[in-house]
Amino acid sequence: MNDQLVNSGSTLGYAISAQERNKVLRNTYWLLALSMVPTVLGAWMGVAFGVGQVFTGGLGLVLFIAGAFGFIYAIEKTKNSAKGVPVLLGFTFFMGLVMSRLIESTLGFKNGPELIMTAFGGTAGVFFLMASVASVIKRDISGMGQWLFVGTIVLLVGGIINVFVGSSTGMVVMSMVAIGIFSAYMLYDLKQILDGGETNYITATLSLYLDIFNVFQSLLALLGIFGGERD
């Protein structure tokens, strides 16, 4: 019965014990920390070998969407088996490759390494703040999910349009909106785990990873636009 509850969706999730919820949270944190290793490796390889340039323009957007959604589909299919973890780590390596173009661009600034560390510190700060809020808030915030999903779709459409328009103002606006949406998503996803609404740690890790990735990428883009120093 316990296994059935742990692997079930949100409908049965709220019936699991506090001990089981803590186990899901602990496994999620461990896997989330581990997922950063292939992300960094992918970003390094992307910068070193110029792979990030593949994800530029319209064709790059198609490759990214196909790769990302392909991995997400595979993760959902394997989340209840031993294959789920390596598939997830493969996805985080892919996302590191995708992000390498932004990393390479940022390193072109004289203060590029400092901007990257600032974005990392800012993202970590947002995560710990959301984790703290999620641990003390008592109200049910599950209704946020629908609004956040709609906001994400609007943001995705805006991002696709801006790939072809190339507006710097549009990038600034979307980066700021993305930070707000995915910071709120962090709170929502963490609260789902703490309340027992998410009982699969691989799915939970995927959700939080995407939140962190988008906040970091958006924050780094803003820092580069407003704080980048040319030689």
- pLDDT digits 0-9 by tens, 13-63: 456 788 999 999 999 999 999 999 999 999 999 999 999 889 988 888 899
Q: Is a pLDDT exceeding 80 seen at residue 150?
A: yes
So what's the pLDDT on residue 10? 40
pLDDT one-digit tens code per residue, 2-19: 333 333 334 444 567 889
Domain boundaries, given as residue ranges, for the chain: 16-227
More confident residue, 70 or 10: 70
pLDDT one-digit tens code per residue, 100-116: 999 999 999 999 999 99
- Helix ranges (H only) for the chain are 2-6, 10-13, 18-49, 57-78, 84-107, 112-136, 144-165, 168-195, 201-227
More confident residue, 119 or 52: 119
Q: Say which amino acid occupies 87.
A: V
Q: State the Cα–Cα distance between residues 91 and 81, nearest whole angstrom.
A: 16
So what's the pLDDT on residue 61? 87
So what's the pLDDT on residue 192? 95
Share of the chain above pLDDT 90, in %: 78
C-beta separation of 127 from 186 below 8 A? yes
So what's the pLDDT on residue 6? 36
Q: Is a pLDDT exceeding 70 seen at residue 167?
A: yes
Region at 166 (left for phi over 0; alpha for psi -120 to 50; beta for the rest): left
So what's the pLDDT on residue 9? 39
So what's the pLDDT on residue 17? 83
Q: Say which amino acid occupies 41.
A: L
Contacts of residues 204-207 at CB distance under 8 Å and 24 or more positions apart, as own/partner, are 204/24, 204/25, 204/28, 205/28, 205/31, 205/32, 205/35, 205/88, 206/72, 206/75, 206/88, 206/91
Q: State the Cα–Cα distance between residues 102 and 220, nearest whole angstrom.
A: 8
So what's the pLDDT on residue 162? 86
Q: State the Cα–Cα distance between residues 127 and 138, nearest whole angstrom.
A: 19
Q: Is a pLDDT exceeding 60 seen at residue 139?
A: yes
The tokens for 147 are: 């609004």
Q: Is a pLDDT exceeding 90 seen at residue 160?
A: no
pLDDT one-digit tens code per residue, 188-213: 999 999 999 999 999 999 999 999 99
